């Protein structure tokens, strides 16, 4: 009797054996060309990753082409794996943004080195929800402190805007020169500022 053939996705790849309708993807990243992703790739393949996307890029870079490719290729039910969270994200905010992108695709996420970071389990989803709440709380604290700092500075008569490029004396002098017919470009060149800075001056 012939064995049934394993289902394949739209691109012809064979689905993971554990669940024939789920593809396990891996994402491996190192910061510089002098490092190797081989150890990460071996660990991800041992965990069942069918395809591993390899990236050589600093974690501080916003645009990572291989991560972008991975996020565009995954489908509902697929799972993305990394060896550690710091291979995927440079900050809590970055991690949450990436997880939000996975959630929109109805895909899961798993970090092999961080057992709690696993959206395929109820416990993992709870932990990441708590993490998102803490990140939002931290942002709210920052906004509150920034607002209080601005209020104190304003009460003390401090300027909150960008430092003027011209001193009050230079501004008055520039206005007089402009009113006498000197070109705005010439005045701006003498103060080493953009002509628009002179144009915005009023008497």
Q: For tokens 């607002």, name the residue.
A: 147
Domains of the chain: 24-124 (3.40.50.1390), 168-199 (no CATH)
| Number of Cα atoms under 13 Å in the Cβ half of residue 190 | 13
* 27: helix, strand or coil: strand
Under 8 Å between Cβ of 44 and 26: yes
Q: How many CB atoms lie within 10 A of CB 122?
A: 9
Torsion of CA 54, 60, 62, 65, to 10 degrees: -20
3-state SS assignment for residue 93: helix
CA 7 to chain centre: 35
Contact 93, 83 (CB under 8 A): no
pLDDT in tens, the chain (203 residues): 443 433 444 333 333 444 556 789 999 999 877 788 899 999 999 999 999 999 988 766 667 899 999 999 999 989 999 999 888 887 777 788 888 888 888 899 999 988 888 888 887 778 777 766 665 666 676 777 777 667 776 777 665 566 777 888 888 888 888 888 888 888 888 888 888 888 888 65
Residue 157, sorted as left (phi over 0), alpha (psi -120 to 50) or beta, turns out to be: left
φ/ψ of residue 100, rounded to 5: -65, -40
**H/E element holding 53?**
strand 51-56
Sheet harboring 108-111: ordered strands across? 51-56, 24-30, 79-82, 108-111
Give this prediction's pTM. 0.55
**Which positions are annotated as active-site residues?**
31
Q: In sequence order, what are the beta bridge partners of 165?
A: none
């Amino acid at each position: 009797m012939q064995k049934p053939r394993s289902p394949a996705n739209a691109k012809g790849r064979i689905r993971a054996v554990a669940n024939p309708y789920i593809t396990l993807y891996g994402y491996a990243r190192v910061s510089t060309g002098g490092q190797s992703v081989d150890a990460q790739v071996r660990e991800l393949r041992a965990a069942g990753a069918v395809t591993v996307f390899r990236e050589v890029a600093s974690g501080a870079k916003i645009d990572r082409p291989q991560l972008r490719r991975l996020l565009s290729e995954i489908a509902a039910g697929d799972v993305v794996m990394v060896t550690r969270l710091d291979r995927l994200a440079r900050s809590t905010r970055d991690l949450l943004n990436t997880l939000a992108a996975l959630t929109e695709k109805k895909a899961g996420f798993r970090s092999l080195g961080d057992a709690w970071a696993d959206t395929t389990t109820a416990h993992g989803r709870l932990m990441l929800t708590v993490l998102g709440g803490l990140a939002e709380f931290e942002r709210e604290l920052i906004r509150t402190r920034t607002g209080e700092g601005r209020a104190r500075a304003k009460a003390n008569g401090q300027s909150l805007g960008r430092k003027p490029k011209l001193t009050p004396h230079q501004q008055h002098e520039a206005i007089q020169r402009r009113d006498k017919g000197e070109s705005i470009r010439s005045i701006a060149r003498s103060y080493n500022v953009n002509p628009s800075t002179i144009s915005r001056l009023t008497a």
